[in-house]
Amino acid sequence: MKVIKKNQRKTPLFIHKSFKNGKLIAEGGNGTVHKCISKKKIYALKHPKNLAKQHFRELEVLMKISGHPNIIRFYGITQDWDIVLEYAYDGTLHDYLKRNPDINWVKKTRIATDILVGLSYLHDNGIIHRDLHPGNILVNRGVIKISDFGSSKCDDGVNSIDCLGVMAYVDPECDYFPRDKKSDIYSYGVILWEMASGHRPQNHLSPFEDIKNVCVPRKYVGLYKGCVSPRKERLERTEIFRHLNEILDEEFFNEIDSVKATMFTLIGAIMFSLIDVVMFPL
Q: Is residue 255 over pLDDT 70?
A: no
CA distance 110 to 112: 5
CA atoms within 13 A on the CB side of 222: 10
Q: Is-same-fold flag (2-86; 93-247)?
A: no
Average pLDDT over residues 125-146: 96
Whether the model clears a pTM of 0.85, i.e. scores above it, the answer is: no
Q: Which residues are CB-contacts of 1 (< 8 A; sequence separation ≥ 6)? A: 12, 13, 14, 15, 76
184 is catalytic: no
Kindly name the residue from 82, 131, 148, 184 that is annotated as catalytic.
131
Fold of the domain built from segment(s) 93-247: Transferase(Phosphotransferase); domain 1 (1.10.510)
Helical segments of 27-77, H only: 53-65
Nearest by Cα to 139 from 92, 207, 203: 92
| Mean pLDDT lowest among 21-25, 112-116, 149-153, 260-264 | 260-264
Domain boundaries, the chain: 2-86, 93-247
More confident residue, 203 or 190: 190
Is 201 in contact with 187 (CB distance < 8 Å)?
A: no
Helix crossing, 237-279 with 181-197: angle to 10°?
20
- Is 115's pLDDT higher than 50? yes
Q: How confident is the model at residue 114 (pLDDT cuts 50, 70, 90)?
A: very high
* pLDDT (tens digit per residue) in 147-180: 999 888 876 555 454 556 788 999 999 888 888 9
pLDDT at 97 over 70: yes
Q: Residue 44's beta-bridge partner residues?
A: 35, 85
**Dihedrals φ, ψ of 115, to 5°?**
-60, -45
Q: What residue type is assigned to position 186 of the chain?
A: Y
CATH fold, domain 2-86, is Phosphorylase Kinase; domain 1 (3.30.200)
Q: Where are the alpha helices (DSSP H) in 7-140?
A: 53-65, 93-99, 105-124
> Are 220 and 96 spatial neighbours (Cβ–Cβ below 8 Å)?
no
